[in-house]
Amino acid sequence: MRKTSITVRRGLRKLGDDLRKARIRRKLTMTVVAERAGISRETLSKIQKGNPKVSMGAYAMVMQALGMGTEWMDFADIKNDIYGQIIEDENLPKRVRPPKIE
């Protein structure tokens, strides 16, 4: 089994802590948020701890249950993929020839 990188673990811990704080600010119990998200209270607890084994879908359902919007859907938007754009630009042809007319 592959180990989760320290950067990913830190990021998930921060996300989990942020979700916990958002839940508390809204004065919602873990049970209520878990029910709204369609997950168990135990899974919500794992999310709040930043467990990398919990599915991305469960994290998304918790964000929705907290009314946090859908901005997370744009994290991997191809328009924001600067590295991919650089690779694509490097592979552009040097010149373009018109199609042959027969």
pLDDT in tens, 51-85: 999 999 999 999 999 999 888 888 888 888 888 88
> Looking at residue 40, which CATH number applies to its domain?
1.10.260.40
Classify residue 29: in a domain, yes or no: yes
Instruction: Tell me: pLDDT of 2 over 80.
Output: no
Residue 21 belongs to a domain: yes
Q: pTM of the prediction?
A: 0.76
Residue 99 in any domain: the answer is: no
Is 49 inside any structural domain?
A: yes
Residue 1 — very low, low, confident or very high, per pLDDT cuts 50/70/90? Answer: low
Rounded to an integer, what distance in angstroms lies between the CA atom of residue 91 and that of residue 85? Answer: 10
- Residue at 85 is within a domain: yes
Please report whether residue 98 resides in a domain. Answer: no
Cα angle value 21/27/32 (rounded, 5°): 95
Number of domains in the chain: 1
Please work out, in degrees rounded to the nearest 5, the angle formed at the alpha carbon of residue 75 by the alpha carbons of 73 and 80: 120
Q: How far apart are CA 46 and CA 43, in angstroms?
A: 5
Does residue 25 form part of some domain?
Answer: yes
